[in-house]
Amino acid sequence: MNLEFVGATQIVLGILARFWPVWLSLAIVLGASYFYRKKLGLYGQLFSTGVGIAGLAICFFWLFTAIFASRIATFDPLAQVAVLKNAMPGAIAPETSGGGVYLLGGDNLARDVFSRMVFGSQIVLIIAPAATLFALMVGITLGLPAGYYGGRIDALLSFLANLVLAFPVILLFYLLVTPAIVEMGIPRWMAGVFFLFPIVFFLTLFWTRFKNRPDRIWLYMGLTIVIGGWIYASLVFNADPFRILSLTPNQLNIFAAVVFASSPGVFRIVRGLTMDIKTRDYVAAAQTRGESPWYIMLWEILPNARGPLIVDACLRIGYTTILLGTLGYFGLGLAPESPDWGTAIKDASRLLRSFIHPALPPTIALMSFVLGLNLLADSLREQSMKD
């Protein structure tokens, strides 16, 4: 086999060039944000330190990569060009298969490593934040009453949370994807319960605030039920009438598992914050004007807990990303051919002794994304402490 290669400089230039939509968007967004940073509150303050800018830049980089994945990628992430199996970076694909360069080489199944890494970002950037969001909803909805009422509710919920936290996460995932358990429908069940939380959350949120305002209440409640119901039907039962949203059974498993494993952490943070904030005078003021407990929790306490929650969410997205990687590595969850970073690392690891290049891009991608999130969280924490 005689493969032709392009030189290292060309590889680097080629990669940089492929990312042009990302550079453009980064320049526009970061530039504009930097220019208006004085008016952008906490987000704007991130631009006052190098750490903040670096964190934002990395996170935005992956966000834009996910958005423009199909434009950046050179090949279909699943397409195989047989001659390029385990090819070194810069290998030129033969004309017969459409030409082009495997910028970062080919993997064991002769797929383009670069394109897979780019498309992998899409999966990571959808599942990790979405799962974190759901975990946040579950944690908040349970943490608020635990912290606010205390007593038995708190004791019970905290006990359950500790139980989940005490369980080894990997074992939990193994269990959840075991065919027997999947057949019993347990993951679907769990997802069914977890995905109910956001709907309940928003319904309570609007009801407590607007119940005496007929002009708004029905609109909001109706919207929540329609949108929530649609998402719920699509995700849990995979029955989206418009065929926009869908979740494969594998993805559903992962989702349920990640939400299950992360929400106790959120629960504990929210509970602690609530116990602190409920002693403030403005909570007493709300009580003395006759507000209901849920109004106080959702409208008086929660908004003031947002700072630490945002920081935690950042860290948690990073953690979930690693978790997804771990799952992929163990071959749990997503489909075997999925380009997500975890699965890619697993595939590459088998041949690590002979070929190291297919393992590096997904690893570096994962590391840099988590690093970016951590930098962002650090900087957010620091800035929010300042005032």
**Closest among 266, 272, 274, 249 to 320, alpha carbons compared:** 266
Q: Does 151 bind other proteins (CB under 8 A)?
A: yes
Q: In this structure, what are the phi and psi dihedrals at residue 355, rounded to the nearest 5 degrees? A: -125, 120
Structure token digits, residue 115? 């394109």
Q: Which of 1, 179, 180, 281 binds other proteins (CB under 8 A)?
A: 281
Q: Is 230 exposed, middle or buried (0-12, 13-18, 19+ CB in 10 A)?
A: middle
**Applying CB under 8 A, which part among 14-22, 56-64, 138-146, 288-296 lies near other proteins?**
288-296
What gap in Å lies between CA 335 and CA 341, rounded to an integer?
12
Of 152, 168, 171, 180, the residue at the interface with other proteins (CB under 8 A) is 152
Structure tokens at 180: 């027997």
| Minimum distance from residue 212 beta carbon to other proteins (Å) | 6
Of these, 2, 9, 96, 212, which contacts other proteins (CB under 8 A)?
212
Count of alpha carbons within 13 Å of 48, Cβ hemisphere only? 15
Least CB distance to other proteins at residue 303 (A): 4
Smallest distance, Å, CB 254 to other proteins?
Answer: 33
Q: How far is the CB of 304 from other proteins (least distance, A)?
A: 5
Q: Which stretch binds other proteins (CB under 8 A): 127-135, 149-157, 243-251, 325-333?
A: 149-157
Minimum gap (Å) between residue 371 Cβ and other proteins: 25
Residue placing its CB nearer to other proteins in the complex, 117 or 136: 136
- Distance from C-alpha of 236 to C-alpha of 378, rounded to nearest angstrom: 35
Taking the least distance from each CB to other proteins, the nearer of 113 and 313 is 313
Candidates 302, 316, 368; CA nearest to 341 is 368
Beta bridge partner(s), residue 91: 5, 102
Listed in sequence order, the residues at least 6 apart from 246 whose beta carbon sits closer than 8 Å to its beta carbon are 234, 238, 240
Q: Among 31, 50, 229, 303, which residue interacts with other proteins (rule: CB under 8 A)?
A: 303
Which range in 31-39, 109-117, 289-297, 337-345 contacts other proteins by CB under 8 A?
Answer: 289-297
Residue 240, interface with other proteins (CB under 8 A)?
Answer: no
Is residue 213 a contact point for other proteins (CB under 8 A)? yes
Q: Is there binding between residue 227 and other proteins (CB under 8 A)? A: no
The torsion defined by the Cα of 61, 65, 68 and 73, in degrees rounded to 10, comes to 140
Binding residues with other proteins: total (CB under 8 A): 27
If one asks whether residue 385 binds other proteins (CB under 8 A), the answer comes out as no
Residue 384 interacts with other proteins (CB under 8 A)?
no
Would you count residue 17 as binding other proteins (CB under 8 A)?
no
- Calpha distance 117→340 (Å, rounded): 7
Report the residue number, 80 or 287, with the smaller CB distance to other proteins.
287
User: Looking at beta carbons only, is 177 or 270 nearer to other proteins?
Assistant: 270
Binder of other proteins out of 35, 282, 336, 364 (CB under 8 A): 282
* Rounded-to-integer distance, Cα 62 and Cα 84, Å: 27
Binding map of other proteins across residues 33-72, x = CB under 8 A, - = no contact = ---------------x------------------------
CA distance 308 to 384: 9
CB atoms within 10 A of CB 261: 22
Binds other proteins by CB under 8 A, chosen from 155, 184, 219, 227? 155
Among 10, 33, 80, 304, binds other proteins (CB under 8 A): 304
Under the binding rule (CB under 8 A), the answer on residue 271 touching other proteins is: no
Question: For residue 177, what are the CA distances in angstroms to 181, 325, 327?
Answer: 7, 15, 10
**Alpha helices of 243-333 — where are they, by DSSP H?**
249-277, 281-288, 293-295, 306-329
At 102, phi and psi to the nearest 5?
Answer: -80, 90
Nearer to other proteins, 152 or 243 (CB): 152
Helices (H) and strands (E) counted in the chain, each on its own, are 18, 2
Do the beta carbons of residue 370 and residue 322 sit within 8 Å? yes
Q: Could you tell me the smallest distance in angstroms from the CB atom of residue 307 to other proteins?
A: 10
Please give the residue ranges that form the binding site for other proteins (CB under 8 A). 48, 151-152, 155-156, 159, 212-213, 280-282, 284-292, 299-300, 303-304, 306, 386-387
